Amino acid sequence: MADIPAVSSQQAIVSDDGLIWLPYDLPLLKTDAARFTPLSDHAAILNAAFTPFVLDYSRIEQLHVINGCGVALGDAIVGLAALEQLSRQHPQLKITVYVSPHLPAHVREIYTLAGHFISVESLPLPLARLAMTPAEVWIDLADFMYRPAFNQLPMHDFFASSLGLNPGQLDNVAKENHWLKAVPLPPLPATLQPGYTLLCHQASTGLRSMPEPIREAWSTQWLGTHTGQLAGFAPQNTPRWHDLSRWSASLPHFMAAIAGARRIVSVDSAAIHLAAGLGVSCTALFMGIDPGLRVAGYPHCSAQQLDETGRLHGLHHARSGVDEAEADRCWQRWLAADTPCD
C-alpha cells in the first residue's frame, strides 16, 4: 500500500480534486499519496471502526456503502448475505454499494449476481454526493481487513456490526449465505458423475494455499483409497482426477462445481462460504487464521487448523522464508497424518 497514515487504512480517502477512493486503489492509481486525506476529515459518515452505531432500518429509505462488502470474494459473499437480509426484511430500502474499479473479475461477478437486491457503482465517487439524512444513510466500510474487529469477530458478526445491526439480528438465511441459492448455475460437464469430491487447493494468498506437491500427493493418496471421482483445478495425469480449470472460467461455473459435489475440501475461504450457501458439506483447512472466525454458523462444515504450533497465528501473508518453511512443515504433517476427508 502507498504511504498513507495507518488510520486511513480503516476508512476511505479523498483526493485533492474531491474524489473518494479506497486505500486499496492507491498502488493501482500510481499517484502521489500526499494528494489524499482521510474521508473523515471532509464529511460526516458512519464508520464502526471509529464509532460503533446502531440503525433502525425500518426508517431508512436509502443505504450507501462505500467499499461495498470488500475486494475479496469470500468477504463479499458474507457481507452480501447481511445486505440481502436487510433488503428482504425492509422492502422500502434501496441499497447502493460503491466498489473499487480495480476489483478482480470474479469479485465483480459476485456483486453482479447480487443485482436483484443491490445497485453497484464504481468509484471514484464525488465527495459532494455525500449527504446524511435520517432517511439516507452513508457507511464507510473501506479497507476493513485492517480493522481489529475483522480479525476478532466471526465474519457475519463483523458485517452486521459494521452495518449498524446487532449480530443476533441475523437470521439463518443470512448466516448460512443462502442468498446464493437464487443464482442460476450452468450444467456440469458430462464426464463428472454424481458423488464426486472437489478439492480447492488455491487460496488468495500463498501462505494459505496448498503447495502443488502436497496437492498432487494427497490427490493420488485419496484416489488410491476411494472409489469416487476427485475434481480440482490443476492438471494431473491420474485416473478419476478431473481438472476443471478451463471449464470453471466464470464464477457461476465455479459455483456449479461446488454445488454438484458430495463434499469439498478447501483452503479457499471463498469456496467454503459458497459451499455453506449452496448446502454442500465441506472440510475447511486453515493455516494460521482462526477457523472460528470464518466458519461459525456453518452446520455442514468441519474445520481443521493446520498451524498446530501457533507460529503462524493470525497471518494472512508470510513475513519471510521462515514462515514459508513453517507452513511447509504444517502441510507435511497433515499429509503424513493421512487425514480422511470423506
Question: For each successive 10 residues of the chain (342 residues), what is the average pLDDT?
Answer: 60 97 94 93 96 98 98 97 99 99 97 98 98 97 93 95 97 97 96 94 93 96 94 94 96 98 97 98 94 90 94 90 95 84 62
Cβ-based burial of 237 (10 A; exposed 0-12, middle 13-18, buried ≥19): exposed
pLDDT of residue 306: 96
Residue 341 lies in a domain: no
pLDDT of residue 7: 55
Residues 318 and 277 in one domain: yes
pLDDT of residue 193: 87
Domain termination site, one of 123, 155, 182: 182
Residue 226 lies in a domain: yes
Answer yes or no: pTM beyond 0.85: yes
pLDDT of residue 1: 44
Residues 78 and 211 in one domain: no
Number of domains into which the chain is organized: 2
pLDDT of residue 316: 84
The Cα 256–Cα 240 span in angstroms is: 19
pLDDT of residue 289: 87
What range defines the domain where residue 155 resides?
6-182
Residue 100 lies in a domain: yes
From 96, 78, 86, select the one nearest 144 (Cα to Cα): 78
Output the DSSP codes for 35-68.
GEEEGGGT---B-TTTS-----GGG-SEEEEETT
Residues 16 and 82 in one domain: yes
End-to-end CA distance of the chain: 41
Residues 167 and 264 in one domain: no
The Cα 160–Cα 164 span in angstroms is: 6
